[in-house]
């Protein structure tokens, strides 16, 4: 298993390095939206992972926008568990019309009186994608992810934007049918970076902003944020020494964290 993971990650690195990043069509800023019944408790957890507050407001509901400099997360106060890939959009009506013209239906639309317009659609695997009209001050983090880092820096922990977790690698999601899922995301402007059959069918896709990992497997059951690092064993040891409690070990130098709101974060070793 260890050798297989190392081989695949090396191939991903080579593919991403040679790839021309596409221009995103869904929006100007992307984030992962996560609901939490206790925003401060969740925020305090993410601070231990290298995230800081970017912005917070109580309108139209309490929320805190946080970032590690590369990945943007929107923590939204709500008792119902929820995770979605969110885009903040300038010309939202134009983007929505373009999506509907491709036969994709929105499962949630705003009311005519809503000041904040929010559209929600779902992938074939029930992963939620939301479009929200952009608010003043919302910007895409400038830090490098696994998509934009130079290949020679992948094994250099000093170059990671997030010194605690490593490189942001993908928003991983389990899929029932890989090709069906790829076809859906392609309609939204995503392209395939890499596609594999080893262990199980899976692929890495991007639209130039988000990075998706589509995994045709039952090894995990819900969307999961994933970080990679060459020194992940040391990073995990440091987190445990600092009091990390909610986690599951997944072999040598691999761990799955459980956040206070019940979401999962993978910390995986980057091997050569």
d(Cα 222, Cα 259) in Å, to the nearest integer? 13
Judged against a pLDDT cut of 90, whether residue 89 lies above it is answered with yes
- The residue out of 133, 157, 191 marking a domain boundary is 133
In a domain, 208, yes or no: yes
Residue 10 has pLDDT above 80, yes or no: no
Band (101; pLDDT cuts 50, 70, 90)? very high
Are residue 120 and residue 182 in the same domain, yes or no? no
> What pLDDT does residue 251 have?
82
Question: Of 92, 108, 133, which residue is a domain's last?
Answer: 133
Who contacts 158 (Cβ-Cβ below 8 Å, separation ≥6)?
A: none
pLDDT of residue 19: 63
What's the mean pLDDT in 102-126? 96
Domain count across the chain = 2
pLDDT for residue 134: 80
Task: Give, in order, the Cα–Cα distances in Å from 142 to each of 33, 69, 161, 186.
Answer: 19, 7, 10, 25
Give per-residue pLDDT as tens, 29-40. Answer: 999 999 999 999
Q: How does residue 53 score in pLDDT terms, banded at 50, 70 and 90?
A: very high
Per-residue model confidence (pLDDT) at position 59? 87
Residues 170 and 250 in one domain: yes
pLDDT of residue 135: 77
Q: Tell me how far CA of residue 212 lies from CA of 86, 112, 147, 169, 176, in angstroms.
A: 13, 32, 11, 9, 15
- Give the pLDDT of residue 119: 98
Place 12 in a pLDDT band, splitting at 50, 70 and 90: low
If asked whether residues 66 and 17 sit together in one domain, one would say no
Average pLDDT on 180-184 reads 98
**Domain identity same for 249 and 165:** yes
212 and 154 share one domain: yes
What is the pLDDT averaged over residues 160-171?
97
**What is the phi-psi region of residue 211: left when phi exceeds 0, alpha when psi lies from -120 to 50, beta otherwise?**
beta
* CA 168 – CA 147 distance, rounded (Å): 9
Q: Give the model's pLDDT for residue 252.
A: 80
**β 255-258/247-249 pair status:** antiparallel
Name the band, by pLDDT with cuts 50, 70 and 90, for residue 11.
Answer: low
Please indicate, yes or no, if residue 58 is contained in any of the structural domains.
yes
68 and 10 in a common domain: no
% of the chain surpassing 70 pLDDT: 92
Find out whether the peptide bond into 60 is cis, omega within 30 degrees of 0.
Answer: yes
Mean pLDDT of 247-252: 89
Q: Are residues 184 and 226 in the same domain?
A: yes
pLDDT at 1: 43
Helices (H), 63-196: 92-100, 178-187
Average pLDDT for residues 132-160, to the nearest whole number? Answer: 92
Residue 91 sits in the same domain as residue 12: no
Tokens at 47, concatenated: 């601070």
With bands split at pLDDT 50, 70 and 90, how would you rate the model's confidence at 138?
very high
Residue 138 domain flag = no
What domain range is 264 assigned to? 2-23+143-269
Bin 68: left if φ > 0, else alpha if -120 < ψ < 50, else beta: alpha
The per-residue pLDDT of the chain, averaged, comes to: 92
**Domain match, 147 and 253 both:** yes
Task: Output the domain CATH number for residue 167.
Answer: 3.10.180.10
Same structural domain, 151 and 19 = yes
Q: Is residue 16 part of a domain?
A: yes
> How many other β-carbons are positioned within 10 Å of the β-carbon of residue 106?
17
My answer on whether 205 and 248 are in the same domain is yes
For residue 151, pLDDT over 50 is answered with yes
Q: Residue 4: what pLDDT?
A: 42
Residues 148 and 19 in one domain: yes
């Amino acid at each position: 298993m260890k050798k297989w993971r190392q081989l695949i990650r090396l191939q991903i690195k080579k593919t991403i390095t040679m790839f021309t990043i596409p221009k995103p069509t869904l929006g100007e800023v992307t984030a992962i939206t996560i609901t939490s019944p206790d925003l401060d408790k969740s925020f305090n957890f993410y601070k231990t992972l290298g995230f800081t507050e970017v912005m917070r407001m109580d309108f139209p509901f309490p929320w805190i926008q946080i970032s590690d400099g590369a990945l943007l997360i929107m923590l939204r106060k709500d008792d119902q568990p929820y995770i979605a890939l969110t885009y903040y959009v300038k010309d939202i009506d134009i983007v929505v019309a373009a999506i509907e013209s491709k036969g994709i239906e929105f499962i949630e639309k705003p009311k005519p009186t809503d000041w904040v317009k929010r559209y929600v659609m779902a992938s074939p695997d029930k992963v939620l994608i939301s479009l929200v009209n952009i608010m003043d001050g919302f910007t895409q983090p400038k830090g490098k992810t696994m998509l934009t880092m130079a290949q020679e820096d992948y094994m250099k922990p000093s170059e990671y934007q997030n010194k605690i977790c490593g490189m942001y690698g993908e928003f991983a999601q389990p899929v029932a049918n890989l090709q069906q899922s790829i076809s859906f995301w392609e309609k939204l402007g995503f392209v395939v970076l890499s596609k594999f059959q080893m262990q199980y069918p899976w692929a890495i896709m991007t639209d130039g902003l988000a990075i998706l990992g589509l995994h045709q497997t039952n090894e995990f059951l819900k969307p999961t944020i994933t970080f990679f690092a060459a020194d992940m064993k040391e990073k995990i040891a440091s987190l445990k020494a600092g009091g990390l409690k909610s986690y599951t070990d997944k072999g040598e130098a691999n761990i799955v964290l459980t956040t206070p709101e019940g979401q999962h974060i993978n910390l995986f070793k980057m091997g050569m």
